[in-house]
């Protein structure tokens, strides 16, 4: 009897160890793949802004390429800017997943909680993708998770304390959407406390006022910091109407979670409905967040059209999954519990083939093979090289890590200063003019502050020939040269990629230039070009 009793804990420890090691191994491989992927254009344009040299600069629009990020993330990127890209990604990911695992442990106090955190991206890969991206989406997810954990753990029967306010402020500082979620969490917590205790103390009201003041100050700082970016990209952040805004928000969530991830989240939400008080509080926060953000998206107050815009939702869904595991374990081995657990396990298992594919595919998660272009430039003798689309930012960023790419004579550079695009250049009356008039106006300003930003006009009219013509005007005549391209495919299928590629190829055709591809990769290519001498 004694030997059996002592054998069971030992066997349980072995099972736990095997499960933990298996999950950790898969996660480690996926993490290693994720940190090795090359930077895509948004990361390239963001990272050349770091390090930031002043405290005020942390709160201001980033100086180049109309980029923006929360102050805390600006500080983090300033600290890791000198690291090689893979190491910078790894440091960021370790911090984010370490924070998520710590929150899961604090909230559930079970051995499996950190294991579920690293198992989650096996089933829903977007968490790992954005945790390793050199943008603020991963830290924002961590902030949302911190706010969610606080809301779930807080006892409504107890008064608000200063440490609660601190947790919410720290969570809010991790992102931008965190402003809305932190305010929502505090408001819901106040209502639950009022229902439970029938009163709100004066000290609690004072704390709420302090939090509100900090929130308003942070919101104003974020609004200032993102002002140039939002203004200069009306296609991404401009008004789209109620139906289009709501549809874009839901489409972004679907792209983030994928169909299987959405099923997993819905199953976890159903379990929360039948769970304890903590489970229902979690479900309340998740439902209110969805309704509020959907409403803001429909009124164009929360422009979210891409999965990265709603990456923070992983912070809530992760806690729904953690809560589902805790609820099922607490219920014991009843037929209903075993059936629901089997269903969730089946949904999770259905994601394994894609996880295996990500392990086997070295290019999994690559949005633009900028590293292939940089590697090619590093091996070539000094040559004239035209920079098309994202190549200027790539050369600026990678030159510090691959000095040999600096030996080429680059042409086609534009001023990258973050400046508001004049409203006159985006007005319907200006865009209705003949294309050559538009292009000549834009290119006349290409070397002035905001030269790159003004080229957003080509995105609005769907024709990039003007930028390509300017680049070719600086190319050598009568002898071969190269054009390196990042952020476009030579064999484009996506309409946006097609327009970026065709802008270049049509400009080459106008000058009767001949070209041959010497490198083709995902959203990247290099052409060897010869143009007539006259």
Render pLDDT for 512-526 as a digit per residue (tens, 0 to 9): 999 999 999 989 999
**Residue 485 and residue 376: Cα distance in Å, rounded?**
12
Percentage of the chain with pLDDT > 70?
A: 93
Q: In Å, what is the CA distance from 264 to each residue of 95, 111, 290, 314?
A: 26, 21, 16, 12
pLDDT of 111 above 70: yes
Instruction: State the residue for tokens 């963001």.
Output: 46
Confidence of residue 1 (pLDDT cuts 50, 70, 90): very low
3-class DSSP assignment, residue 217? helix
DSSP string of 41-94? HHHHHHHTT-S--STGGGTSPPSBTT----HHHHHHHHHHTTS-HHHHHHHHHH
Question: Across residues 468-476, what is the average pLDDT?
Answer: 95
- Of 70, 91, 68, 46, nearest to 140 by C-alpha is 70
Q: Can you give the pLDDT at residue 238?
A: 58
pLDDT of 18 above 80: yes
Q: Can you give the pLDDT at residue 234?
A: 84
- Residue ranges and CATH numbers for the domains of the chain are 12-360 (no CATH), 370-531 (3.40.50)
- Which two three-digit tokens encode residue 420? 């508001």
Q: Can you give the pLDDT at residue 358?
A: 66
- Low-confidence winner among 153-157, 166-170, 488-492 (lowest mean pLDDT): 488-492
Name all contacts of 92-98 with Cβ < 8 Å and 24+ positions apart: 92/131, 92/132, 92/134, 92/138, 92/139, 93/31, 93/34, 93/35, 93/128, 93/131, 93/132, 93/138, 96/131, 96/138, 96/139, 96/141, 96/142, 97/131
pTM over 0.85: yes
Confidence of residue 497 (pLDDT cuts 50, 70, 90): confident
Q: Can you give the pLDDT at residue 279?
A: 95
**Residue 7 and residue 396: Cα distance in Å, rounded?**
61
């Amino acid at each position: 009897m004694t030997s059996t009793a002592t054998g069971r804990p030992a066997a349980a420890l072995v099972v736990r160890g095997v499960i933990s090691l298996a999950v950790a191994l898969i996660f480690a491989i996926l993490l290693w793949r994720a940190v090795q992927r090359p930077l895509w254009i948004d990361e390239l344009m963001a990272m050349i802004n770091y390090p930031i040299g002043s405290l005020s600069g942390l709160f201001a629009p980033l100086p180049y390429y109309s980029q923006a990020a929360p102050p805390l993330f600006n500080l983090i990127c300033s600290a890791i800017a000198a690291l090689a890209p893979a190491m910078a990604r790894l440091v960021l990911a370790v911090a984010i997943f370490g924070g998520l695992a710590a929150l899961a442990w604090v909230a559930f106090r079970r051995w499996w909680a950190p294991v579920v955190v690293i198992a989650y991206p096996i089933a829903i890969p977007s968490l790992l993708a954005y945790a390793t991206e050199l943008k603020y989406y991963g830290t924002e997810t961590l902030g949302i998770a911190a706010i969610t954990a606080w809301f779930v753990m807080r006892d409504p029967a107890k008064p608000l304390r200063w440490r609660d306010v601190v947790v919410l402020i720290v969570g809010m500082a991790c992102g931008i959407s965190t402003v809305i979620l932190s305010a929502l969490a505090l408001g819901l917590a106040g209502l639950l406390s009022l229902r439970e205790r029938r009163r709100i103390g004066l000290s609690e009201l004072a704390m709420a006022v302090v939090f509100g003041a900090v929130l308003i100050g942070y919101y104003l700082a974020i609004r200032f910091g993102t002002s140039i970016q939002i203004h200069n990209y009306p296609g991404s952040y401009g008004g789209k109407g109620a139906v289009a805004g709501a549809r874009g928000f839901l489409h972004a969530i679907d792209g983030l979670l994928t169909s299987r991830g959405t099923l997993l989240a819905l199953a976890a939400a159903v379990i929360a409905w039948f769970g304890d008080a903590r489970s229902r509080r979690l479900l309340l926060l998740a439902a209110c967040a969805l309704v509020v953000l959907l409403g803001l998206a429909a009124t164009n107050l929360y422009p979210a059209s891409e999965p990265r815009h709603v990456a923070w939702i992983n912070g809530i869904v992760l806690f729904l999954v953690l809560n589902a595991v805790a609820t099922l374990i607490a219920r014991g081995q009843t037929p209903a519990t075993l059936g629901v657990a089997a269903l969730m396990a089946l949904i999770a298992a259905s994601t394994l083939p894609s996880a295996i594919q990500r392990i086997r595919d070295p290019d999994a998660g690559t949005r633009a093979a900028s590293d292939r272009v940089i590697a090619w430039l590093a091996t070539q003798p000094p040559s004239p090289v035209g920079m098309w689309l994202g190549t200027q930012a790539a050369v600026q960023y990678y030159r510090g890590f691959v000095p040999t790419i600096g030996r080429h004579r680059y042409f086609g550079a534009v001023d990258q200063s973050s400046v508001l695009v004049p409203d006159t250049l985006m007005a319907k009356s200006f865009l209705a003019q003949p294309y050559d008039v538009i292009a000549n106006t834009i290119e006349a300003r290409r070397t002035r502050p905001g030269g790159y930003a003004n080229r957003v006009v080509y995105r609005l009219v769907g024709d990039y020939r003007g930028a390509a013509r300017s680049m070719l005007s600086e190319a050598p005549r009568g002898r071969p040269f190269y054009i390196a391209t990042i952020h476009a495919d030579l064999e484009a299928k996506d309409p946006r990629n097609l327009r970026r590629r065709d802008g270049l190829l049509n400009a080459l055709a106008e000058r009767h230039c001949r070209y041959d591809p010497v490198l083709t990769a995902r959203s990247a290519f290099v052409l060897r070009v010869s143009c007539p001498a006259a």
